[in-house]
Amino acid sequence: MSSENRQSNVLAWSLLVVLGGGLLTVLLSYSPPVDISVEGHRIDEAFGYTTRLITIYFAIVLFVMGYCLVRFRARPGHSAEYIEGNQPRHLLMTGALAASVFMLIDMRLIATSAHDASEIFWKFPTGKDVVKIQVLGQQFEWHFRYAGPDAKFNTADDVETTALLHVPKGKPVLMQLRSKDVIHSLFLPNVRLKQDAIPGRQTQLWFQAKVPGDYELACAELCGLGHYKMRGQFIVDEPADFDAWIAAQSKDAEEEYDADDKSANWGWDWEARN
Amino acid sequence: MHDAHHAEPTGFLSRVVFSRDHKVIAKQFLLLGLLFLGLGGILALLIRWQLAFPGKPVPIVGQYLFSATAGAISPEGYTMLFTMHGTIMIFFAITPMLIGAFGNLCIPLMIGARDMAFPLLNMLSFWVAAASGVVLAGSFFVEGGAAMAGWTAYPPLSGATATPGLGQTLWAVSLFLGGVSTLMGAINYVTTILMLRAPGMGFFRMPLSVWGLGLAAVLNILFVPVIAAALLMLILDRVANTGFFVSGAQPGSAGDPLLFQHLFWIFGHPEVYILILPAWGIVSDLLAVFSRKPAFGFKATAIAMSSIVVLSTVVYGHHMYTVGLSPGLGKAFMSLTMLISIPSSVLFLNWLGTIWRGSIRLEPAMLFALGVVFVFGMGGLTGLFLGAITTDIYLHDTAFVVGHFHYTMAASVLFGSLAAIYFWFPKMFGRMLCPELARLHFWFTFLPLNLVFFPMLIEGYGGMPRRLYEPTSYKYLVQFQPVNQLITFAAMVLGLAQLIFVWNVVRSLWAGERAPANPWEATTLEWLTPSPPPHENFDVIPEVHRGPHEHSRPDVPDRDWIGQWESQAPAAPQTPPAPPADSEAVAV
Amino acid sequence: MSDVATCEVSPVAPAAAAGELADVVGMSLFLGSGAVLFGSLLMSYAMLRAQQPVWPPAGCPPPPLLMAAANTLVLAVSSVSMAHAQVLAASGLRCVGALCATMTLGVLFLVLQLPVWSALQAAPQFGLMRSVFLLLAGCHALHLAAGLGALAWVLPGALAGESSRHPLAARVRLCAMFWHFLGVAWAALFLTVFVF
């Protein structure tokens, strides 16, 4: 390799590293929406440590690859070494490395994720202070229903909202989801959760918010041409504000209630199906 | 009937169009795949335009394609674009290229057969694939346009009520035909590998490309019928008023939309491996050839690929963590999914073992093979987050998923195909490609490709749902608009860079240097034949004496390879070979 | 299928024997994927049926068991005559009669399906019973029609009484494999849709 050639190679690589590094820094400065839930940090943490571990792992792989490409490049006087890699010691080494990677990275992720899934995110709260909400997905709007003062769904005092979800801070919120037409998926980026709403089925979702504020909710599953418009407002209130809001809305709802309007009274008995 | 010589057909039709010669069919599949790759790529650029500049008229082509909306892409157009992009790329671009073209080219040549076991079936397989491609491409021109339910076509969205119109039905019919074609090919591949290996070609002497292609064919035989069943039901739901996937809001009211998802992913997850297995095999072979070493841990690689085949059949549930699986089922699917990382690690370690202490020749094919190691690493590792329940709940249906599967399916499989093209082009067409242009092509593909797919991971972690017509419709996503524009510019560069490849191929076909029989000094049986191989490949079926990557054997003097067909090293001086050089001596 | 794959094909050239063996292997793979197809369809049916509170669904007539039983009987007899044709062809005897009998019974099977089909037309649109029957029996009937086509393809050779008996015997064997597969698939279908 001529020295000129080599110089331009070095130049190209340094440019690449500087540009790539700069770009990477900018990209990595983006972070997910602020986590406002009690349990959402579990997902961030699982993501975080797995990212760190696989970055190290991949860096080692790339380092070895790069080393080989420089050190074992074909050149006069250099020849390859005949290694089949089928000896027991080779297999043992490969197997041990693969198994240790599995135990270090995967097992930890499996353990945390399995625990968090069955003990936290998919273990649905019961009890008196649970705020119950029914959710109906429909092209291209999310509908939410609160039982109102009588604590019964599909009655005159139900509060129904469209593309607007109010929840109180500090109380577990349990939702039952159904869909009227196609599959939708309720996505709350700020609590790190999503749950499909599927016609013919009922699904559930729960979370507990801890930071009051005005956030957004989305539809994550392609549901038709208006999919991108299926956004909603997601408001976390102080408990007192929430109660006041429910009371006011419920009063309005009772005045406008029409028992014959089937499509407006889309709610269902809460305990109907699990 | 299979060993006997057949006279070469002479007519144009029987030689070029309706040929039963596996090498001609391979070229036909390659052409089909490349044409659809170009189409799918153009669709991708249009998608990218809309994401970077929502609602702005598309420059140059917009006024012709979207004249009704003054050159801007409508929600209908956008949905159609990404649905067809996915379908075309998976079933009509990379499937024909890797499995159709290189399956056809490599399997008979590498195992020492004159042709496939069923040449007529092979020909039909191509023409059914071509017909299904015509049906799919034609669906753009029917009333209401092409399919609009995503490439996953989940009902009820893909049903007759939510997506009326002929386009979606043609989509299903076209995929069904594609499945028939794939099945024909797969039966042919497996039978050929089982029955037509040259004498001495044991399973552990087959090149890893044949292992990958053969295992992919086994998966195809097992799982194409599953998607065929789902498509049959979807077609019946659309045209015959059946109710498999139709359901009202009331639980248990009739059919079940989730049934389709189960069937789709029972097929769909193996499909990922159907596409990546041939790429793994090809990469394993190429790394050995260009490192002038045997493939490290050959048997372990073959067994790792086989165990991934087995595991791939029982992990599909990780695509459905958000549908309301029971925690027990979810955890079972998660654990099985994660097990795949063990054989995957074995593959990586063996790849590194192969280039370790090699004598690496950075030919273009080798660059692309090394590129696969990188992009598959990215794809495989980001897959961890999607295999684990809790991280997937957040990342599911976001741009993270898009970035992840483009790294695995698009980048790895595409690089595998390009590596294969640069490696076997001399054998296929008897001409050498220009290596300088090829290197340029590599760097202008590899770098922009990462600029396209890596930022998608960032956007996905930022919570951007996929398939959004207007990402700016969410306030929290507005900050990602510069990233979207970066991706779009990178995608344009990526698209333009493919012109280098097209030019290289066209130029070489007319004016390329004539290829010798064995330009890469490789050891597998296809390099025994002239370039291009004659009708029926071999004058005499060769006898196989050794494994597929016998490079740099100490007992072979003078050269660093010995072909599988050579009973002994060519006559050479009796001096014992020098011990393997562990030279610290010469630096670059 | 392994017993078929290993059955001897003695006094022929090894090349032809290898070719015939490849045909059997190819057919076995095809039938394997056919089994997955019918398996997937039956599994889907099971999943849909399991979600229904009653079966057959409310408002749907029960499937016509008697007609279906007649169908089953016809197909079973046709499998016997197909097996007979295979034995005859393998020993070099004329098998035209047995082949024709099989084809006739196959056509009879399709004709006997018509009343079953029209009985289910009465079922409501989107009704699961109608859907399932359309899918399973329709898919089976299409495969059976293809089987009839295959038999028609070997018939000329059988009529001419080909001198070299092996190509004919090999072809009849392939047809027989497919035909018996159709019999087994129908049996599974009959038991799950009509009986239980």
pLDDT digits (tens, 9 = 90+) for B247-285: 765 554 578 999 999 999 999 999 999 999 999 999 999
Question: CB–CB of A61 and B377 under 8 A?
Answer: yes
pLDDT over 50 at B92, yes or no: yes
What is the side-by-side strand order in the sheet with A159-162? A159-162, A141-146, A131-138, A172-179, A203-208
- Residue A107 and residue A140 in one domain: no
pLDDT over 70 at A272, yes or no: no
Rounded mean pLDDT of A183-202?
A: 95
pLDDT over 70 at B2, yes or no: no
Indicate the length of chain C as a whole number.
Answer: 196
Instruction: Give the C-alpha distances (Å, rounded to integers) separating B410 from B37, B369, B377, B417.
Output: 11, 14, 13, 10
Rounded mean pLDDT of A11-24?
A: 90
Rounded mean pLDDT of B110-131?
A: 96
**Residues C61, B25: Cα–Cα separation, whole Å:** 52
Q: How far is C125 from chain B (nearest CA, A)?
A: 6
Chain A interface mutation, best of B79, B247, B391, B588, highest count of A Cβ atoms under 10 Å = B391
Residue from B403, B413, B526 nearest B459 by CA: B403
* Residue B289 CB neighbour total at 10 angstroms: 27
Instruction: Give the C-alpha distances (Å, rounded to integers) separating B27 from B20, B99, C153.
Output: 12, 12, 31
Residue of B nearest to C139 (CA): B232
Instruction: Give me the pLDDT at residue C162, please.
Output: 62
Burial of residue B67 (number of CB atoms within 10 Å: 0-12, 13-18, 19+): exposed
Within 190-209 of A, beta carbons closer than 8 Å to B belong to: 192-196, 198-204
3-class SS string, B165-215: CHHHHHHHHHHHHHHHHHHHHHHHHHHHHHHCCCCCCCHHHCCHHHHHHHH
pLDDT over 80 at B586, yes or no: no
Chain A interface mutation, best of B245, B247, B344, B393, highest count of A Cβ atoms under 10 Å = B393
Out of B162, B358, B377, closest to residue A58 by CB: B377
Q: How far is B49 from chain A (nearest CA, A)?
A: 16
Residue from B41, B40, B59 nearest B49 by CA: B59
A contacts of B398 (beta carbons < 8 Å): 220
The half-sphere exposure of B294 on its side-chain side, counting CA atoms within 13 A, is: 23
Question: CB–CB of C130 and B188 under 8 A?
Answer: no
Q: Mean pLDDT across chain C, nearest whole number?
A: 85
A contacts of B362 (beta carbons < 8 Å): 69, 73
Instruction: Give the C-alpha distances (Å, rounded to integers) separating A152 from A207, B96, B578.
Output: 21, 58, 89
CATH number of A144's domain: 2.60.40.420
Within 254-273 of A, beta carbons closer than 8 Å to B belong to: 266, 272-273
- Residue A170 and residue A250 in one domain: yes
B contacts of A183 (beta carbons < 8 Å): 154, 156-157, 257
Out of B4, B121, B259, closest to residue C15 by CB: B4
Instruction: Give me the pLDDT at residue C168, please.
Output: 87
Q: How far is A109 from chain B (nearest CA, A)?
A: 7
Q: What is the pLDDT along chain C (196 residues), one digit of tens a residue?
A: 333 333 444 444 556 677 789 999 999 999 999 999 999 999 999 999 988 888 877 777 777 888 889 999 999 999 999 999 999 988 888 889 999 999 999 999 999 988 878 877 766 655 788 888 889 999 999 999 999 999 999 998 888 876 555 588 899 999 999 999 999 999 999 999 888 8
Q: Which two tokens stand for residue B480?
A: 């990602």
Give residue for tokens 């399997």.
B107
Q: Estimate the crossing angle of helix B257-291 against helix B298-312, to 10 degrees.
A: 170
CATH number of C87's domain: 1.20.120.80
Q: Which chains, if any, share at least 3 CB pairs under 8 A with chain C?
A: B
pLDDT over 60 at B575, yes or no: no
- Domain range for A190 is 131-257+266-270
pLDDT over 50 at B588, yes or no: no
Instruction: Give me the pLDDT at residue B255, please.
Output: 86
Instruction: Give me the pLDDT at residue B5, please.
Output: 61
Give residue for tokens 């990178």.
B490
Mode of pairing for the β-strands spanning A184-188 and A193-197: antiparallel
- What is the tens place of the pLDDT at every residue in B430-460? 999 999 999 999 999 999 999 999 999 999 9
- Residue A155 and residue A251 in one domain: yes
C contacts of B188 (beta carbons < 8 Å): 26
Out of A33, A201, A229, closest to residue B476 by CB: A33
Contact predicate B210/B549, CB 8 Å: no
Q: What b/e string do you get for A160-177 counting C-beta neighbours within 10 Å, with b at 16 or more?
A: bbebebbbbbebbbbbbb
Question: CB–CB of B252 and C51 under 8 A?
Answer: yes
Out of B221, B223, B259, closest to residue C44 by CB: B259
Sequence letter at residue B523: T
- Residue A119 and residue A145 in one domain: no
- Residue A104 and residue A210 in one domain: no
The residues with which A138 forms a beta bridge, in sequence order, are A141
**Residues B383, B405: Cα–Cα separation, whole Å:** 8
- What is the tens place of the pLDDT at every residue in A20-48? 999 999 999 999 999 999 999 999 999 99
Contact predicate B89/B34, CB 8 Å: no
**Residues B407, B412: Cα–Cα separation, whole Å:** 6
Instruction: Give the C-alpha distances (Å, rounded to integers) separating A121 from A109, A114, A115, A170, A210.
Output: 15, 10, 9, 16, 16
B108 preceded by a cis bond (ω within 30 of 0): no
**Residues A130, B213: Cα–Cα separation, whole Å:** 55
pLDDT over 70 at B156, yes or no: yes
Residue of B nearest to A45 (CA): B391
Instruction: Give the C-alpha distances (Å, rounded to integers) separating A20 from A64, B455, B516, C52.
Output: 20, 12, 40, 57
pLDDT over 50 at B134, yes or no: yes
Q: How far is C168 from chain B (nearest CA, A)?
A: 14
Q: Mean pLDDT across chain B, nearest whole number?
A: 92
Residues 6+ apart with CB under 8 A from B21: B15, B115, B119, B535
The answer to whether residue B323 neighbours chain C at the CB level (below 8 Å) is no
ipTM: 0.95
* Residue C80 CB neighbour total at 10 angstroms: 14
At A190, phi and psi to the nearest 5?
-75, -15
Within 74-133 of A, beta carbons closer than 8 Å to B belong to: 74-86, 90-91, 94-95, 97-99, 101-102, 105-107, 109-110, 112-114, 116-118, 121-123
Contact predicate B355/A72, CB 8 Å: yes
Question: CB–CB of C48 and B244 under 8 A?
Answer: yes
Measured in whole angstroms, the distance separating CA B175 from the mean position of its chain's CA atoms is 17
Measured in whole angstroms, the distance separating CA B587 from the mean position of its chain's CA atoms is 38
Q: How far is A210 from chain B (nearest CA, A)?
A: 18
Identify the sign of the CA torsion B236, B241, B246, B252. Answer: negative
Whether A225 maps to a domain, the answer reads yes
Counting the structural domains of chain C, the total is 1
Q: Which two tokens stand for residue B401?
A: 């998923």
Out of B251, B294, B381, closest to residue A273 by CB: B251
Instruction: Give me the pLDDT at residue B384, please.
Output: 95
Instruction: Give me the pLDDT at residue C9, please.
Output: 40
Q: Which chains, if any, share at least 3 CB pairs under 8 A with chain B?
A: A, C
Question: CB–CB of B357 and A194 under 8 A?
Answer: no
Rounded mean pLDDT of A58-85?
A: 94
Q: What proportion of chain B, given as a percentage, has pLDDT over 90? A: 87
Question: CB–CB of A81 and B149 under 8 A?
Answer: no
Give residue for tokens 């004249």.
B67
**DSSP letter at B237?**
H
Mode of pairing for the β-strands spanning A159-162 and A141-146: antiparallel
Question: CB–CB of C32 and B221 under 8 A?
Answer: yes
A contacts of B466 (beta carbons < 8 Å): 220, 222
Instruction: Give the C-alpha distances (Å, rounded to integers) separating A258 from A77, A163, A179, A262, B10.
Output: 92, 21, 22, 9, 81
Least confident range of B234-238, B314-318, C57-61? C57-61
Least confident range of A141-145, B197-201, B297-301, C131-135? C131-135
- Residue A119 and residue A139 in one domain: no
Question: CB–CB of B397 and A202 under 8 A?
Answer: no
**DSSP letter at A73?**
B
**Residues C24, C27: Cα–Cα separation, whole Å:** 5
C contacts of B190 (beta carbons < 8 Å): 25, 29
- One-character DSSP codes across B539-586: SSPPPP-S-TT-BS-TTS-SSSB--TT-SSPPS--SSPPPPPP-----
Counting the structural domains of chain A, the total is 2
The half-sphere exposure of A51 on its side-chain side, counting CA atoms within 13 A, is: 11
Mode of pairing for the β-strands spanning A131-138 and A172-179: parallel
Sequence letter at residue A34: V
Task: Give the 3-state secondary structure of residue B52.
Answer: helix
Contact predicate C71/C105, CB 8 Å: no
A contacts of B336 (beta carbons < 8 Å): none
CATH class of the B12-528 domain in this structure: mainly alpha
Mode of pairing for the β-strands spanning A232-237 and A164-168: parallel
Label residue B165 left, alpha or beta by phi (over 0 means left) and psi (-120 to 50 means alpha): left
When computed from its CA atoms, the radius of gyration of chain C, rounded to whole angstroms, is: 19
Contact predicate B99/B282, CB 8 Å: no
Q: Which two tokens stand for residue B422?
A: 């640069």
Residue of B nearest to A192 (CA): B394
User: Domain residue spans in chain B?
Assistant: 12-528
Q: Where are the beta strands (DSSP E) in B250-380?
A: none
Rounded mean pLDDT of B454-483?
A: 95
Q: How far is B308 from chain C (nearest CA, A)?
A: 20
Task: Give the 3-state secondary structure of residue B109.
Answer: helix
Chain B interface mutation, best of C30, C31, C33, highest count of B Cβ atoms under 10 Å = C33
Q: How far is B585 from chain A (nearest CA, A)?
A: 8
Question: CB–CB of B338 and A195 under 8 A?
Answer: no
The answer to whether residue B219 neighbours chain C at the CB level (below 8 Å) is no
Question: CB–CB of B479 and A30 under 8 A?
Answer: yes
Q: How close are the terminal C-alpha atoms of chain C, in Å?
A: 28
**Residues C196, C191: Cα–Cα separation, whole Å:** 6
